[in-house]
Structure 1
Amino acid sequence: VTVGYTYEAFFVSDGRAKVKKKEEEEPKTTGGKFVCNECGKQYATSSNLSRHKQTHRSLDSQQAKKCPHCNKVYVSMPALSMHILTHNLKHECPVCNKTFSRPWLLQGHMRSHTGEKPYGCAHCGKAFADRSNLRAHMQTHSTFKHYECTRCSKTFALKSYLNKHCESACSK
């Protein structure tokens, strides 16, 4: 998708015009959130939305980046940089010898051996081993449940929860 640009003048306090390039398809905001015009996901900042929009790029676009070690292709430099770290796995688990690129990944993995779940839900008390699982769980307490089962009409806050429901729990 190519996006055209327009130029808009902004006037600074001394009366001079400052020209700023802006995308014609300005991100829409709803309630202070920046919304992706391709998939509807919402972000708190325009820079987070901009980073997200890179995920919609095609892997065969000129902006795609190739890993020099294994030739996998990524839609952005940050994604490629994170991938490259996986080629240097120097943090090893003393229990099972699994290796990780970052010490915090090993630390999180260690909880699978200890059973520690330090992240608790403020609503229901359910505990989780990592923060991302807690964040996903918090969506279940949301009043916005946009994903509906076509068989039983039960609604879910996360598409992954709907998928899990459809695969195993839906009786209708």
Structure 2
Amino acid sequence: YVPHCLPPSSYDGDQKPGLELAPAEPAYPPAGHRHACAECGKTYATSSNLSRHKQTHRSLDSQLARKCPTCGKAYVSMPALAMHVLTHNLRHKCGVCGKAFSRPWLLQGHMRSHTGEKPFGCAHCGKAFADRSNLRAHMQTHSAFKHYRCRQCDKSFALKSYLHKHCEAACVKGAEPPPLPPAGPAS
């Protein structure tokens, strides 16, 4: 289970009356029944997942690559092209600032920049975020795995961006951060 989630023993399958649980089946078929890519050997549970993967082996200059009819950008994956084409049709407009989006959930997330709403809270420290991806990145700060190490002072960080901020603050081994400049005369 994921460490920041409830342990499996705390799940209660009988929470809803009349709910019957399906018999447990493996999430993936046994190895012999999986669909394998002839080019790289990766295996997939379904033939449709394998087909989607095979598109990644196409080159952008191959006959199978497809171009966006609006801007000409090439894609080897039809789903990726379909998502890109939506970016040329910005139907979801912000009523506050006029910024337009291709998908309603992008507009919904943008609206939080106007309202200040931060519905995604960290279960460990309570810090809140406007979108789920920022919460996911933040969760790494609570991880024991800190893969990004400062070459000057050996301090380590869970996020690369935190290491960059640390270095930009003029990290010097054992030194305090530089003092703030004195305030100028009030005008």
* Range class of TM-score, shorter chain: 0.5 to 0.7
> What amino acid is the match of 2:141?
T
Deviating 4+ runs (over 6 angstroms): none
Contact 2:87/2:102 (CA < 8 Å) preserved in 1?
Answer: yes
Name which one, 1 or 2, has greater alpha-carbon Rg: 2
Corresponding residue number in structure 2 for 1:15 = none
State the 1:76 CA deviation.
Answer: 2.5
Please identify, of 114-123 and 156-165, the stretch whose mean Cα deviation from structure 2 is larger: 156-165
State the 1:83 CA deviation.
Answer: 1.3
> What amino acid is the match of 2:169?
A
CA distance in 1, matches of 2:169, 2:59: 35
Corresponding residue number in structure 2 for 1:169 = 169
**Aligned partner of residue 70 in structure 2, secondary structure:** coil
Offset from partner CA, 1:136-155 (integer Å, 9 cap, x none): 11011111121222232222
Aligned length, in residue pairs: 134
- CA 1:149–1:70: 2 relative to 1, 3 Å: same
State the 1:68 CA deviation.
Answer: 1.3
**Aligned partner of residue 126 in structure 2, secondary structure:** coil
State the 1:62 CA deviation.
Answer: 5.5
CA distance in 1, matches of 2:113, 2:67: 33
- CA 1:21–1:129: 2 relative to 1, 3 Å: closer
- CA 1:116–1:86: 2 relative to 1, 3 Å: same
State the 1:73 CA deviation.
Answer: 2.7
State the 1:59 CA deviation.
Answer: 4.5
Answer 1 or 2: which has greater strand percent.
Answer: 1
> What amino acid is the match of 1:145?
K
- What TM-score do you get using the length of structure 2 for normalisation? 0.59
Contiguous gaps of at least 5 residues in structure 1: 1-9, 11-17, 29-46
Aligned-residue sequence identity (percent) comes to 69
Q: What is the aligned-residue RMSD (CA, Å)?
A: 3.2
Mapping 1:26-45, distance limit 5 Å: 26=41
Mapping 1:15-26, distance limit 5 Å: 21-23=36-38, 25-26=40-41
Corresponding residue number in structure 2 for 1:39 = none
Contact 1:118/1:129 (CA < 8 Å) preserved in 2?
Answer: yes
> What amino acid is the match of 2:109?
G
> What amino acid is the match of 2:119?
P
Corresponding residue number in structure 2 for 1:103 = 104
Corresponding residue number in structure 1 for 2:95 = 94
Contiguous gaps of at least 5 residues in structure 2: 1-31, 44-48, 173-187
> What amino acid is the match of 2:74?
V
CA distance in 2, matches of 1:132, 1:19: 31
